[in-house]
Structure 1
Amino acid sequence: MDYIKTDKYRVADSVKISEVPTYEDFGKSEKRLKKDLSKIRRELGEFQDTLYAHNKYSVLICLQGMDTAGKDSLIREVFKDFNVRGVQVHSFKVPTELELDHNYLWRHYLALPAKGKFGVFNRTHYENVLVTRVHPEYILNERIPGIHEVDDIDQKFWDKRFEQINNFERHLHENGTIIFKFFLHLSKEEQRQRLLRRLAVKEKHWKFSPGDLKERKLWDRYQYCYEEAINNTTKEHAPWYIVPSDSKKAARVIVASILLKRLKKYKDIREPMLEDKILANLVDYENQLQSEKND
């Protein structure tokens, strides 16, 4: 959509999250936003078909945000016109015992999209510098040599993790993965309203957990950790985008627009040409098929 300036949301320099707006609707009605999203996602669906045929790139979309930021509904609405075989969604929960027996990036490697496919991480490898930073005691479960107690986890530890994540993403990029990282930026008041709706609507009760309120009390700490993570890991090949998300419908259009605009820059992604031998015999193949109706 012409009214969405996608570069506006890309983090190119150091950013202060508290100064970034959490609301945007472009002065458009919800009906118009829904219509525009429908158009963009059809184009994305067509691109997905081409990406699959080309079979040299994969696309990794990372979604992060506070509870109730709208990650699940965004995935449902933005990728609605995709062939289900061409997109894989992974939601990373608390690590299992098997996952804890490996390094923290292991389970993310296993979930990466194959060439020709889209992969969506609903919560991502960044949980390892967000939740674990707010709750550093979780790091002890990883049984890392030299880390025996929380006091052993200092700033150098987190700087090293940022470096490891940057190396991980650089490796993916150099091997054909197109990376998008979205922070769905929600205001504390909007989160309060969404949590209240979960309590008020019976069908939404299952989404509520008392733990949501405990984590909400750590809001400022989470904002600081997000800011640190974004500023230390936004790169030309793996940029962060901060998406105002108090309006879910606008956030979906913004994310879809960013995806489409950047993916269209890959002019080498196109359907492969048939071999010359096959092209030279297309008429013969057509005649063979046409003749069958006379048999």
Structure 2
Amino acid sequence: MNTYKVKKTINLKNIATKEVEENAEKKLKKVRKKLSKLQDTMYAEGKYAALICLQGMDTSGKDSLIREVFKEVNARGVEVHSFKVPTENELKHDFMWRHYIALPAKGKIGVFNRTHYENVLVTRVHPEYVFSENIPSIKSIEDLNEDFYNSRMEAINNFENFIVNSGTIVLKFFLHLSKEEQKNRLLRRLRLKQKNWKFSPGDLKERKLWDNYQFCYQELLNKTSKKQAPWFVIPADDKPTARLRVAEIILENLKSYNFKEPELAEKYQVHLNEYRTQLENE
């Protein structure tokens, strides 16, 4: 799966947005069952947590991917957080605070649907949003320059390095969607009555900023894909294949940690037959 990992400087225009795997849905069923069993062992061991970060343009398939990839995982073992516009309380803290308090506990898989990278993505396309954070050093739009966003990306790198060293496995996925496919998916939302609720006129406004977003994504992918917290660029025009690829990469990476279920304490093991007899004779 190293094919998808960002290991050197990339240009998104040179990376395909479509890949089609035959029988992807059938293959995904097998992978997610293995992922479920692996997570059970991970939970029992309790040494590691896993943070799965999902980013992508509107309609790239983040929600359905989460549903399909993690549907077999025990509910106690996976937590999903969808980060929207910061609340009033969140804006009273530093930009990483709301993400830090949402991190998964050891033994669990945490999924960030949109992530801390929104702080160097949406706020870079719409720099005026930063003013709501009331940062003392930011007095005008000119202060929100390249140095400001590079500093934020470095802070994110430090944050991820810290949680990795504390036992959190970090895997980040960019769902690489083509502009044409986004158009088709937006039209589908308008065409199908049951999908109308997903449509927002704001989607069309953001679509006009496509090139700005692609530039910002390329920047953050190149500057924040690290060995300990890698980015994977996943072709997203075909949803079943994208889901399969993400599931395969998660499974492959988690397997490398060789999770093991803890053994029962020796003081209890010597009495197993006694406990068994006690129950059988009830």
User: After TM superposition, is the score higher than 0.5?
Assistant: yes
Instruction: Tell me which residue corresponds to 1:97.
Output: 88
Matches within 5 A, 1:53-68: 53-68=44-59
Greater Cα offset, 10-19 or 61-70 = 10-19
Matches of 2:91 and 2:214, distance apart in 1? 26
How far 1:146 sits from its partner (Å)?
1.4
Q: Which residue of 2 aligns with 1:199?
A: 190
Query: Following the alignment from structure 1 to structure 2, what is the Cα–Cα distance between the partners of residues 262 and 212?
Result: 34
Tell me the residue number matched to 2:236: 245
SS in 2 for 1:166: helix
Shift of 1:277: 2.0
Matched with 1:17 is: 12
What CA RMSD, in Å, does the superposition of the two structures yield over aligned residues? 0.7
Distance in 1, matches of 2:7 and 2:14, equals 15
Give yes or no for the alignment of 1:233 onto 2:227: no
Q: TM-score, normalising length from structure 1? A: 0.94
By how many angstroms is 1:279 displaced?
A: 1.6
In structure 1, what is the Cα distance between the partners aligned to 2:85 and 2:133? 12
Q: Which amino acid aligns with 2:56?
A: G
SS in 1 for 2:281: helix
2:8 aligned counterpart, secondary structure: coil
Matches within 5 A, 1:130-279: 130-267=121-258, 269-279=259-269
Counterpart AA for 1:36: K
Question: 1:217-268: per-residue Cα shift (whole Å, max 9, x none)?
Answer: 000110000000010000011000000000000000000000001110002x
Per-residue CA deviation, residues 205-227 of structure 1 (Å, 9 max, x unaligned), is 01000000000000011000000
Distance 1:13 1:283 in 2: 57
Name 2:33's counterpart in structure 1. 42
Unaligned runs of 5+ in 2: none
SS of 2:89's partner is helix
CA distance in 2, matches of 1:77, 1:102: 34
TM-score, normalised to structure 2, is 0.99
Give the AA of the match of 2:149: W
Tell me the alpha carbon deviations over residues 151-181 of structure 1, each in whole angstroms, 9 at most, x when there is no partner. 1111110110011000000011000000010
In the alignment, the residues of structure 2 paired with residue 290 and residue 94 of structure 1 have an alpha-carbon distance, to the nearest angstrom, of 57
**1:16-40 per-position Cα deviation (integer Å, ceiling 9, x unaligned):** 11100000013x1xxx211100000
Code of the residue aligned with 1:191 in structure 2: it is Q
2:256 counterpart SS class: coil
**Structure 1 gaps, min length 5:** 1-5
Identity %: 59
The match for 1:3 is none
| Counterpart in the other structure of 1:75 | 66
Distance in 1, matches of 2:253 and 2:86, equals: 33
Structure 1 residue 149: deviation in Å?
1.2
